[in-house]
Amino acid sequence: MSQASIWAIPALHDNYIWVAQRDSSIVIVDPGDANVVLDAIQAKGLKLCAILITHHHWDHVNGLEGILSVHDVPVYGPAVDLDRVPGIQHGLNDGDHISLPEIDLDLAIMTIPGHTLDHIAYFGEFGTKPLVFCGDTLFSGGCGRLFEGDPPTMHASLQRLAKLPAETMVCCAHEYTQANLEFALAVEPCNTSTLNYRDRVQLLRAENKPTLPSSIGLELEINPFMRCHHDTLHKAASAFSQKAISSDVDTFATIRSWKDNF
């Protein structure tokens, strides 16, 4: 039986370019750097079959031109970016599905605006587990900055992701986990799940190993931005803002502002 695997190519300062591989065929996600992708393909004898884009930021798309100059493959991305991101050939909207037969992967498209307004995620089953390529919307222990969206929009997007199966692998695009956990513990200093996870993460990073993928189930335990419905988060937001906060969206807005200045 053919083998399916998920791994990441480190790029730029702290980006991950995700690779879904079956046998020697691969699909990549958010190539911000062409050289590292081309080097990996050549070194491992791989066949590139498609490219997926989650949003338009340069560190997710700057490698497209260089890769496409060598590999003639389809590029999928947000429909609203067809004119903004040269190289995207197939525009995707919420509820669309794409099939990648070379690696036996079918993906459902979810719009998850907030970090950017065009942001999409790709969700599907690969190998023995579900996975989601979520770009810069959800990080392990954190979430993306609100460059284009507002707190209600981002909170709603995170809640969409929260409803995915707990075992879903979270394939996000940056190695921010250590810094995110420092903030998470400032918000919930007595969260034992976060304390234990921080210890595991410190060991991984000391060996220069990735902390990702995470899982939806883990994020629901340790990520303050996924936990805004908990009383501990309401209390932490109220203490930080020095006013009573009880709504989940207001809690999210408060802790996002707190994180921006942490």
59 is catalytic: yes
**Which is catalytic among the residues 56, 115, 119, 234?**
115
**Is the pLDDT assigned to residue 1 strictly greater than 80?**
no
| Number of neighbouring beta carbons within 10 Å of residue 217 | 13
Nearest to 48 by CA among 172, 66, 60: 66
Q: Of 51 and 2, which is predicted with more confidence?
A: 51
240-261: pLDDT as tens digits: 999 999 899 999 999 999 999 9
Work out the average pLDDT over 98-126: 98
234 is catalytic: no
Work out the average pLDDT over 203-219: 97
56 is catalytic: no
90 is catalytic: no
Nearest to 28 by CA among 14, 46, 45, 13: 46
119 is catalytic: no
**Which is catalytic among the residues 33, 55, 118, 119?**
55
Q: State the Cα–Cα distance between residues 11 and 32, nearest whole angstrom.
A: 7
% of the chain surpassing 90 pLDDT: 98
**Is the pLDDT assigned to residue 2 strictly greater than 80?**
no
83 is catalytic: no
Radius of gyration of the chain (CA): 18
**Which is catalytic among the residues 56, 60, 155, 234?**
60
Nearest to 173 by CA among 139, 202, 221, 217: 139
Query: Across the chain, what does the average pLDDT equal?
Result: 97
183-208: pLDDT as tens digits: 999 999 999 999 999 999 999 999 99
The pTM (predicted TM-score) of the whole model is 0.97
Q: Phi and psi for 244 in degrees, rounded to 5?
A: -70, 130
Q: How far is CA 108 from CA 85, 99, 164, in A?
A: 21, 9, 12
pLDDT score, position 109: 98
Q: State the Cα–Cα distance between residues 123 and 126, nearest whole angstrom.
A: 10
pLDDT score, position 13: 92
122-171: pLDDT as tens digits: 999 998 899 999 999 999 999 999 999 999 999 999 999 999 999 999 99
**Which is catalytic among the residues 33, 136, 248, 250?**
136
Q: Is the peptide bond before 189 cis (omega within 30 degrees of 0)?
A: no
Q: Which helix (H) or strand (E) holds 183?
A: helix 177-187
**Which is catalytic among the residues 30, 59, 81, 118?**
59
Amino acid symbol at 27: V
97 is catalytic: no
**Which is catalytic among the residues 56, 119, 155, 174?**
174
Q: Phi and psi for 26 in degrees, rounded to 5?
A: -135, 155
Q: Phi and psi for 72 in degrees, rounded to 5?
A: -90, 90
